[in-house]
Amino acid sequence: MNLILLLVIGFLVFIGTYMVLSVNLIRIVIGISIYTHAGNLIVMSMGHYGPHMSEPLIEKGTQHFVDPLLQAIVLTAIVIGFGMTAFLLVLVYRTYRVTKEVEIDVLRKESEGENE
């Protein structure tokens, strides 16, 4: 199971990197969103699983408790990722409304033309 999770995380990082390196602003936002999902999986994979346990449990004598720390961290990361994605989408929308362009190369050429 750990190998499958590792492959999924690696694939998400690969796709996120590919999307961030594109010239389209929407693809960059999607790539950053994919990065957040990969980060959430990395945090979830850090839970300690014993050889006979299928859940992240804390054993105290004969009692078993669920470790809430990983759940709280992932929930916080999901909320922060959603907020960042919403902010970036508004930023891309505002850039499109002002410049009528979504390509980074065209935006760079326009800004270089203003500096000369």
Q: Which tokens is 63 given?
A: 């009692």
**Per-residue pLDDT at 3:** 85
Helix-, strand-, coil-residue percentages of the chain, each rounded to 5: 70, 10, 20
* Sheet strands (E) in the chain: 57-60, 63-66
| Closest among 86, 77, 84, 79 to 39, alpha carbons compared | 77
Its domain, for residue 50, covers 2-115
Q: Output the average pLDDT for the chain.
A: 85
| Closest among 73, 75, 53, 74 to 64, alpha carbons compared | 53
Q: Which tokens is 45 given?
A: 């994979």
Query: What CA dihedral angle connects 87, 89, 90 and 96, to 10 degrees?
Result: 150
Specify the CATH number for the domain of residue 14.
1.10.287.3510
| Share of residues in the chain with pLDDT > 70 (%) | 84
**Per-residue pLDDT at 25:** 92
In the chain, the number of structural domains is 1
Give per-residue pLDDT as tens, 65-82. Answer: 777 788 888 899 999 999
Query: Residue 85 carries which side chain, given as an amino acid letter?
Result: T
Give per-residue pLDDT as tens, 6-37. Answer: 999 999 999 999 999 999 999 999 999 999 99
